[in-house]
């Protein structure tokens, strides 16, 4: 080793990168339950309407790098959003749109949530996904998979259907396959990591930094993830 060159033991420990993912959709679709399921590993005993925003974090390891996934559980009710909405969108790395498969109105609201992203000048290259929640309630389905898939395709959004309550697959006899909440958020994290490999010359940044996960992408040929109307 050259004299004066830092040995690996004298290098500061790498800072943990933070991926900020916002979860948006109508009130009651299950945003709190989905984020809680991913970060705490279980369905919450009870929830109350989110006021402003709640944060949940989980440290994961992807290809040997520790990454903090920070989920911003936003309020679905307009009266609880107003003052906070600017903060949601600042330095956001990915967006998860949620609707409730047993509530057609929450599905019809999706264009307005997509529009809100647009209003906040989110680049079209920021990964976005669409999640239909409450797949365990098969007797009450109001939004069929085909309809949701059509919508997702028309907006270039990957679609996942899941249940925050019973994420281990469909009930016996159900036609519908449920994605696992864990797999959904990890898919987003993998996407973000692949978009922005950790460069030694570029220290990891948290919320305060203007980390740009969207440049130098390797997503040629990828289908989905962007949003054609955003
Ligand atoms: N059966 C079933 N119920 C769910 C599921 N996810 C959420 N719920 C229920 O749906 C209701 C609303 O869930 P929340 O997670 O609080 O909804 P939210 O989208 O965060 O609502 P806001 O905070 O008002 O925006 C609660 O009664 C949950 O128990 C699910 O996957 N299956």
Q: Once rounded to an integer, what is the mean pLDDT over residues 125-145?
A: 95
Q: Where are the beta strands (DSSP E) in the chain?
A: 17-24, 53-62, 65-74, 94-100, 128-133, 159-161
What is the CA(54)–ligand 1 centre distance, in A? 14
Q: What pLDDT is stored for residue 168 in this prediction?
A: 65
Atom 8, ligand 1: which residue's CA is nearest?
A: 30
Q: What pLDDT is stored for residue 86 in this prediction?
A: 81
What is the CA(33)–ligand 1 centre distance, in A? 6
CB 138 within 8 A of CB 171: yes
Q: Once rounded to an integer, what is the mean pLDDT over residues 137-153?
A: 97
Find out whether the beta carbon of 161 lies less than 6 Å from any atom of ligand 1: no
Q: What pLDDT is stored for residue 167 in this prediction?
A: 65
* pTM over 0.95, yes/no: no
pLDDT tens track for 31-55: 999 999 999 999 999 999 988 888 8
What is the CA(59)–ligand 1 centre distance, in A? 24
Find out whether the beta carbon of 138 lies less than 6 Å from any atom of ligand 1: no
ipTM score assigned to the predicted complex? 0.99
Find out whether the beta carbon of 133 lies less than 6 Å from any atom of ligand 1: yes
């Amino acid at each position: 080793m050259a004299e004066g060159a830092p040995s690996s033991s004298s290098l500061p420990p790498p800072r943990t990168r933070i991926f900020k993912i916002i979860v948006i959709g109508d009130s009651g679709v299950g945003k709190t339950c989905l984020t809680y399921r991913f970060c705490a590993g279980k369905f919450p005993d009870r929830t109350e309407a989110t006021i402003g925003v709640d944060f949940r974090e989980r440290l994961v390891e992807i290809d040997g790098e520790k990454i903090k996934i920070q989920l911003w559980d936003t309020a679905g009710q307009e009266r609880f959003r107003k003052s906070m909405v600017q903060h949601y969108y600042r330095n956001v790395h990915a967006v998860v749109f949620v609707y409730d498969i047993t509530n057609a109105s929450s599905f019809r609201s999706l264009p307005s949530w997509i529009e809100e992203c647009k209003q906040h000048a989110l680049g079209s290259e920021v990964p976005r996904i669409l999640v239909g929640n409450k797949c365990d309630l098969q007797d009450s389905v109001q939004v069929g998979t085909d309809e949701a898939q059509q919508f997702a395709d028309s907006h270039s959004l990957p679609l996942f259907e899941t249940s925050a309550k019973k994420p281990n697959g469909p009930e016996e006899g159900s036609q519908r396959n449920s994605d696992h909440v864990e797999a959904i958020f990890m898919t987003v994290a993998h996407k973000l990591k692949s978009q922005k490999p950790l460069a030694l010359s570029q220290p990891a940044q948290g919320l305060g930094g203007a980390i740009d996960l969207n440049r130098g992408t390797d997503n040629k040929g990828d289908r989905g993830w962007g949003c054609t109307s955003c």
